[in-house]
Amino acid sequence: MNIREKVKELLKYCADYQGHTNMMDERRKNYDFNVELPEEKGISAHLNELQFILLTGEAGDGKTHLIHALKEKLTKNGFKLCEDFSAESEDDKKQIVQKVEEIVSGKTEDCIIVAANVGIFTKTVLMYEPTLIEELNKENPKIKIINFEKRNIAGDKKVFYQIVQEFLKYDGGNCLEEQCIHREHCIYKKNLDMLLSNQGVESVRVLCDVICLIGEHVTFRDLLSLLSYMVTFGETCEQRVVKSDVENCSYENIFDKMQLNKLFATIGRMDPAFKNTAMNEREYSTIEQCRRAKRQRFFVQEHEKYPLLAIDYLPQFRNVIHLFQKEPFLDVGMVQDGELYLVKRGLGRIIRRGQSDLSIKVADTPTMLGNDIQTEFELGDIDIVWHRYGLDFNHLEENTRKAEEENTRKAEEENRFCMSYIYQGEEDQVEAITMVIDYRLFRYLMMAEEYYYLSHNSKSIEEYTINTFFRKIIKKKAGAYEKMIVRFTDQKQRDVCDFSLKMQKKSILESDKRIIKIRREG
């Protein structure tokens, strides 16, 4: 395909950006472009034993694309295809749910694959077969559920590179239109060649990865539309010829298109032009030249692209992720420097309510007590570790050896790590209560450490499940807390005072006896 034909094809994916008008419609698309995604491989590998497959996610996540890619295999294995559960009538939805219940309970050998937008299928199940929800959450070789909403499309580098390079490929030559005044310096060709290079693909991958890190979602459609716009900027050859400054349509100006939609607004907030870097800004005669140079450096720099984006605490977060790719786990008590030490201090400042002592205080007020009384627990020594996501504490050596041999990480391990309380479970198995730390929680703790934002409001803390984590430990470990504190919100009116309860040994000679010590607080 020559460059002029390629531009016309790409323009179909990004016309206007008005609510995705005229953009790719999966049901009308020509499926000549195809890359085998991990989800497709996973289904194909177990198709003989599967009876029910559920694909759920946002519009544009690639659910219909996946069904089309597997259509021949699915049909051969007797699967009934439901490509859009939302479009089915209410009676048909009910029948599909009942069919799934029969599959799960072993009453039928029928097979079905269902594609549904987020929440639609679950809502229908709760309406007609509410007990089915619990069964679908159990391990069952006949069932495969793929939630595209949880997928980081940039997580698998190999597949991401295949998608971009397959989607953008062209013959590599100059435009055949000899009369075009821009033929020798075609901006379309410049953009395509950059995005097809390893540096270009990695730059787009980093952008998509960071979007996922900050809690947003990039669909398959979003990616293809983004690539198309970075090449064409939504303009045909005829429109481009009459422009005097075609450089405004160069790939690095993607950061200037915040008005187009939510995805571009997110990318715009990462603009490398907002980042203070080691560049000598005096070398540039205008601010615009300096901004463009910073953006271009993000694309052309081979390594460490993440620190060039204007995302606070992102380099520190990446350092921690890299640390756990080398070290499976670290004892929290032994961490005395680096980013994890700052995370530990931020966590302490949140849960100590501004007090200078080093004890961990956990709020756990029963709802029945209302807002008039608040209870806190001071935790003693508990076995806490930082560790990589997905670590199996019962097979540490095996996990570590396998990871080193394969030199690979699961996509979800690339953007989160964990803090866990480790304890001995049944049958000598090591068990853990775990708090997953993603970028959002990491940023919250780092801001607390620097006092940029420090809220002791229980709802704010609970948004990140911090109190829930420690409350689970209190419930599991006998004697996990050394002291309980009872606080009254309106002491003067009620004529009461805060007090604490502490369990102590009676004496050295009577070590098996305990006393409860009550002390006035405040």
pLDDT tens for 416-445 read: 899 998 888 777 788 888 999 999 999 989
Band of residue 492 on the pLDDT scale cut at 50, 70, 90: low
Q: What is the mean pLDDT of the chain?
A: 81
Nearest CA-CA partner of 11 in 511, 352, 216, 3: 3
pLDDT-wise least confident of 38-42, 320-324, 452-456? 452-456
| C-beta of residue 263 within 8 angstroms of C-beta of residue 46 | no
- AA letter at 399: N
- Alpha-carbon distances of 369 from 365, 385, 489, 500, rounded to whole Å: 7, 33, 12, 17
Nearest CA-CA partner of 86 in 40, 123, 137: 123
Name the strand (E) or helix (H) holding 73.
Answer: helix 63-76
**Tell me, what's the pLDDT at 3?**
86
Given a cut of 60, whether residue 268 has pLDDT beyond it is yes
Distance CA 407, CA 394 (A): 21
Tokens of 513: 């006896």
pLDDT over 90, % of the chain: 34
Distance CA 70, CA 466 (A): 42
Given a cut of 90, whether residue 460 has pLDDT beyond it is no
Q: Is the pLDDT higher at 242 or at 162?
A: 162
**Tell me, what's the pLDDT at 77?**
92
* 395 φ, ψ (degrees, to nearest 5): -140, 50
Distance CA 364, CA 251 (A): 52
**Tell me, what's the pLDDT at 455?**
55
Q: Is the pLDDT higher at 259 or at 363?
A: 259
Band of residue 20 on the pLDDT scale cut at 50, 70, 90: very low
Distance CA 419, CA 437 (A): 7
pLDDT (tens digit, 9 = 90+) per residue, 311-330? 999 999 999 998 998 888 99
Given a cut of 80, whether residue 360 has pLDDT beyond it is no
pLDDT over 70, % of the chain: 80
Q: Is the pLDDT higher at 91 or at 396?
A: 91
Beginning with the edge strand found earlier in the chain, give each strand of the sheet holding 329-331 in spatial order.
329-331, 384-388, 417-424, 430-437
pLDDT-wise least confident of 53-62, 132-141, 327-336, 397-406? 397-406
**For range 324-344, the mean pLDDT:** 89
**Tell me, what's the pLDDT at 17?**
42
Q: Is the pLDDT higher at 230 or at 482?
A: 230
Given a cut of 50, whether residue 357 has pLDDT beyond it is no
**For range 90-99, the mean pLDDT:** 94
**Tell me, what's the pLDDT at 282?**
66
**Tell me, what's the pLDDT at 173?**
85
Nearest CA-CA partner of 453 in 440, 465, 438, 468: 440
C-alpha gyration radius of the chain: 28
Nearest CA-CA partner of 505 in 515, 497, 517, 495: 515
**Tell me, what's the pLDDT at 442?**
94
3-state secondary structure at position 264:
helix
pLDDT-wise least confident of 32-41, 134-143, 368-377? 368-377
**For range 359-364, the mean pLDDT:** 58
- Contacts of 253 by beta carbon, 8 Å cutoff, 6+ apart: 233, 292, 295
Distance CA 90, CA 93 (A): 5
Band of residue 22 on the pLDDT scale cut at 50, 70, 90: very low
Distance CA 180, CA 171 (A): 19
Given a cut of 80, whether residue 172 has pLDDT beyond it is yes
Name the strand (E) or helix (H) holding 424.
Answer: strand 417-424
Residue 238 burial (CB count, 10 A): 7
Distance CA 75, CA 180 (A): 49
Q: Is the pLDDT higher at 344 or at 519?
A: 344
**For range 60-79, the mean pLDDT:** 90
